[in-house]
Structure 1
Amino acid sequence: MTTKLSLATLKDVSGTASVPSYDRGSLKAGIVHFGVGNFHRAHQAIYLDDLFNLGRDHDWAIVGAGVLPSDAAMRDKLAGQDFLTTVVEQDNNRSGARVTGAMIDYLAPGNAAATIAALADPAIRIVSLTITEGGYFINPASGVFDPTHPAIAADAADPGAPKTVFGLILAGLKARRDKGIAPYTVMSCDNIPGNGEVTHAAVSGLARLSDPDLADWVDASVAFPNGMVDRITPATGPREIGIVADEYGIADAWPVFCEEFKQWVLEDNFPQGRPALEEVAVQFVADVAPYEHMKIRILNGGHAAIAYPAALLDIHFVHEAMEDADIRAFLAKLECEEIIPVIPPVPDTDLNDYFALIEHRFSNPKIGDTIPRLAQDGSNRQPKFILPSTADRLSRGEDVVGLALVSALWCHYLAGKTDSGKAISFNDPNIDRIHAAALAARDNPAAFLELKEIFGSVADSDLFRRRFADALQTLQRDGTRATLKRYLEGNLAN
């Protein structure tokens, strides 16, 4: 028997899941969050739920905000259970469920006026975002805001009826400025180097297209703290919904599964105040960059490295990829020989110990994280997670055999078939262009490197071009496993 999750049934589900110790009715909104996906509900919302359970800062509850039409489904499901979420935390030796209540409302997509009104409320002091790496309208190769993107151009032409996250944020800021209300802090929670700076560039860059004075005010008055976020959170499907129902007796329309580990490192730049997140283990530091480099290159880069060989070998789950001796050894050799050596020191952190933790986390069989999730959106993830390490090594005159192999594996994957001949289903906003380039690379490897918006100056390196071509031709001729073995034996580079 299952119990439908709601405020009215919290007592009923408390036998199998921990539930909020605070009165949800005591919460007041202090944050508007764009991008209410699984990661947000397993990360930022968890930290706030922990804080509220301590009896602290009940005026910092979350109001979700939808932008895309697809957000309506999430909003409807969460509204049907009073915006509660079942979060199942899973370690190798432990699983446990909790119900979180940090979100108290969710603004439906398509109603810009209602969202702008909420943003103009003086009670809202932070606006946060989890909109994925590809949601910031930046050139993948340069990391620079792209003011020519059609969605940005449309918001610039009609700033009173914005349709993008940044158009809405800017309209809210303008409303506050016009009313003499102090601006909120804008806090990115996405895996992007310098995510606060990138967000600032998007908001200010959009403003400059239609209202330079507003852009100047944003530059002078609005805080955009950088932050590093970390928690492995797979997608939700029938499997996860079924586990919550069968093992915990809870009917949750969109539960979240995640690993037990979580981390959040933030610059303490919140002029209008912030919740006391240091009470629940958020690290506040003067400079987030070292932590970002470590996490994005070792963890996210590691995910990108194993995604494509695993996909080509028809491996579905991440922990199964780590059980494959060749893939695990490939990851270790790549990280220890090419990625970790170009990462700057991180305070009070041994990078080799950090990588050992990553190996352990990737190997967790309880989470059910999937290779298709890691393989999606490569056109945005490769330039952020892999190619910066490549560029750093090339600038130092160092070899890139393993990193070039990662790029070649991505190209080989994009050709469309696994080594066994199965068709690959893609999930990438730029798939038409990159798939065509991958097909052209079957005869001419350099054709793939003509994706300059992805590879940037890396593609100009003769060494990289040679290493990439060698790896891709070996993959095409001998297959994924034989190529991995050649790399592990030190025989891939000619």
Structure 2
Amino acid sequence: MPSPANLPRLTRSVLPALQTHVLSPRWREPAIGIVHLGIGNFHRAHQALYTEEAMLAAGGDWGICGVTLQGDVGKRDALMEQQGLYSVVERGPDGARVTVVRALREVLAMPHDHAALFGRLADPLVRIVSLTVTEKGYCRDAKTGDVALDDPGVAHDLAHPLAPRTVPGILVAALRARRDAAGQPFTVLSCDNLAHNGAALRQVVCSFARRVDAALADWIAAEVAFPSTMVDRIVPATTDAERATVAEQLGYRDAAPVPCEPFRQWVIEDRFPAGRPAWDAVGAQLVDDVTPFELAKLRMLNGTHSTLAYLSMLGGFATIDAAIADPAMHKLIHAMMTQEIAPTLTLPASFDVAGYRDALLARYANPALKHRCAQIAMDGSQKIPPRLLATIEARIDAGQPFARLALAVAAWMTFLRGHADDGTRYEISDPLADDLKALAASAQGEPQALMNALLSVRDVFPAQLAARPEFRTALQGALQLLRKNGARRAVAAMQ
């Protein structure tokens, strides 16, 4: 196998030699029509790939300008040295398939490329601004849904509205420039795992704008479309294995390959006043209301993904495929989806929930993906409420049991102690990490004390849910089970 370091770099000049690794030899370099904030692995393995396929199917100038928001000039420079090219390494049970993606035309890094970004956002050819910035990138007050005024970045942007750093600040500044130029606004397309993501982003942006210019806020509310979406594809972090696979299959060096599973899904509310790529021609579902699909994914996939992650961090499974290969864990997750999660969903008659469950279990078992549990366990304080707590509330309201869901929340609480059952230590990556670790440490492992301490965190647990006796009883029982038996035996005992 050739060493990537000794190979020439992947650039557009070598594409004629890679015709078996592109989606089609037919290709017209498009003008940029989409600016994407948060040019991480997920976007490059999901929306960018759909967009290239849509341009091949129906044409259009929908080239992508990707933007890093963390000052990551390394990623910008790596991708621009490759003229925007990168490889998607699709790993399935039968091996790896490498595809070179051409839709990314430009990469900018904030704040270094501030002028270039706002020049691009002012361009009338740009008709969509899309985002994958994770929940915390929205700077959203969890209680009100408005912009979080205590966020330091928001405070900076309100004081310096022409030099914004945050997502709401950038969007409001760009939309104000569009309005003042009497131009058409762009559509703002959230692709993050956030309930009702379009509506949530609209509220954040409008509340920020109202602090700057009430008339601007009114214009945004009336004129700018914020369609909601549901996205799904497992996209792990890039490792040297992907770089080696690309080198072997292409014979060129790619500094920014992206691994992913074969499965993908994209459901989009069809509200694009300025137009959109023909995503529906290449497998995306364009619908009037994304909510039923969103809830199914959020609860069935994301909820069980988090469950697997926290139980695995305690029990010593490093990857999702290793965890689901354990018979007791497989049985737990199958029963959790079938008996506790699926009954909370209201789905179209055409939606095969049992088939969806079985497809998820098969995806988890993909031995080629090696999706790290530690990656999924990140930012739990923001993921637990929509992924698990909302489902628990629905079960309580219906008078139904939720022992497995309670075990998942208890596993997250126990995870905050910072070590597995065998003593192996791990890092806790979370916006509230310091506070959560201190609360967990103060309980000294005692289940009731741990529960009481963490249920007081209003950024995670609403007061009404935290006070419900059904929730407290089930949660304390699950915490006791984990402390007495450890994660693996607790999972087995839940059968």
Category of TM-score, reference length = shorter chain: over 0.9
Is 1:243 aligned to 2:250, yes or no? no
Deviations 1:21-41 (A, max 9, x none): 2445x3101110001011000
Whole-angstrom distance in 1 between the partners of 2:325 and 2:262: 20
Is 1:485 aligned to 2:492, yes or no? yes
Could you say which residue in structure 2 is the equivalent of 1:21? 25
Whole-angstrom distance in 2 between the partners of 1:137 and 1:153: 11
Q: Is the 8 A contact 1:20 1:100 kept in 2?
A: no
Deviates more, 1:179-188 or 1:380-389: 380-389
Is 1:46 aligned to 2:53, yes or no? no
Q: Supply the AA of the counterpart residue of 2:92.
A: D
Could you say which residue in structure 1 is the equivalent of 2:132? 130
| Unpaired segments ≥5 residues, structure 2 | none
Q: Is the 8 A contact 1:112 1:163 kept in 2?
A: no
Q: Secondary structure at the match of 2:100?
A: strand
Q: Is the 8 A contact 2:315 2:420 kept in 1?
A: yes
Whole-angstrom distance in 2 between the partners of 1:140 and 1:319: 33
Whole-angstrom distance in 1 between the partners of 2:27 and 2:284: 24
Structure 1 residues 367 and 470: CA distance shift in structure 2, 3 A? same
Is 1:464 aligned to 2:471, yes or no? yes
Is 1:4 aligned to 2:5, yes or no? no
Structure 1 residues 140 and 365: CA distance shift in structure 2, 3 A? farther
Q: Secondary structure at the match of 1:470?
A: helix
The 5 A counterparts of 1:298-313 are: 298-313=300-315
Could you say which residue in structure 2 is the equivalent of 1:415? 417
Post-superposition offset of 1:46: 0.4
Post-superposition offset of 1:469: 1.3
Structure 1 residues 104 and 22: CA distance shift in structure 2, 3 A? farther
Deviations 1:132-157 (A, max 9, x none): 12221224466554333222122112
Deviations 1:316-370 (A, max 9, x none): 1111111111211111121111111101123511111111110011111112211
| Identical pairs, percent | 37
Q: Supply the AA of the counterpart residue of 1:57.
A: G
Deviates more, 1:391-400 or 1:270-279: 391-400
Could you say which residue in structure 1 is the equivalent of 2:261? 259
Q: Is the 8 A contact 2:168 2:208 kept in 1?
A: yes
Q: Supply the AA of the counterpart residue of 1:373.
A: Q
Structure 1 residues 140 and 323: CA distance shift in structure 2, 3 A? farther
| Unpaired segments ≥5 residues, structure 1 | 489-494
Equivalences, count: 484
Whole-angstrom distance in 2 between the partners of 1:440 and 1:57: 60
Could you say which residue in structure 2 is the equivalent of 1:148? 150
Q: Secondary structure at the match of 1:31?
A: strand
The 5 A counterparts of 1:416-431 are: 416-431=418-433
Deviations 1:90-115 (A, max 9, x none): 22224311100101011221133321
Q: Secondary structure at the match of 2:126?
A: coil
Is 1:32 aligned to 2:35, yes or no? yes
Q: Is the 8 A contact 2:91 2:97 kept in 1?
A: yes
Q: Secondary structure at the match of 2:289?
A: coil
Could you say which residue in structure 2 is the equivalent of 1:322? 324
Q: Give the alignment's TM-score, normalised by structure 1.
A: 0.94
Q: Secondary structure at the match of 1:250?
A: coil
Q: Give the alignment's TM-score, normalised by structure 2.
A: 0.94
Deviates more, 1:439-448 or 1:269-278: 439-448
Deviations 1:216-244 (A, max 9, x none): 11101100001111111111022222222
Could you say which residue in structure 1 is the equivalent of 2:102? 101
The 5 A counterparts of 1:78-93 are: 78-93=79-94
Post-superposition offset of 1:281: 1.4
Q: Supply the AA of the counterpart residue of 1:367.
A: L
Q: Is the 8 A contact 1:200 1:224 kept in 2?
A: yes
Deviates more, 1:210-219 or 1:142-151: 142-151
Deviates more, 1:278-287 or 1:247-256: 247-256
Is 1:295 aligned to 2:300, yes or no? no
Whole-angstrom distance in 1 between the partners of 2:84 and 2:134: 22
Whole-angstrom distance in 2 between the partners of 1:30 and 1:326: 49
Q: Is the 8 A contact 2:145 2:204 kept in 1?
A: no
Structure 1 residues 97 and 439: CA distance shift in structure 2, 3 A? same
Q: Supply the AA of the counterpart residue of 2:25.
A: S
Could you say which residue in structure 2 is the equivalent of 1:120? 122
The 5 A counterparts of 1:85-484 are: 85-110=86-111, 111-140=113-142, 145-441=147-443, 442-443=445-446, 444=449, 445-456=451-462, 457-484=464-491
Whole-angstrom distance in 2 between the partners of 1:147 and 1:339: 35
Whole-angstrom distance in 2 between the partners of 1:425 and 1:476: 20
Structure 1 residues 156 and 44: CA distance shift in structure 2, 3 A? same
Q: Secondary structure at the match of 2:459?
A: helix
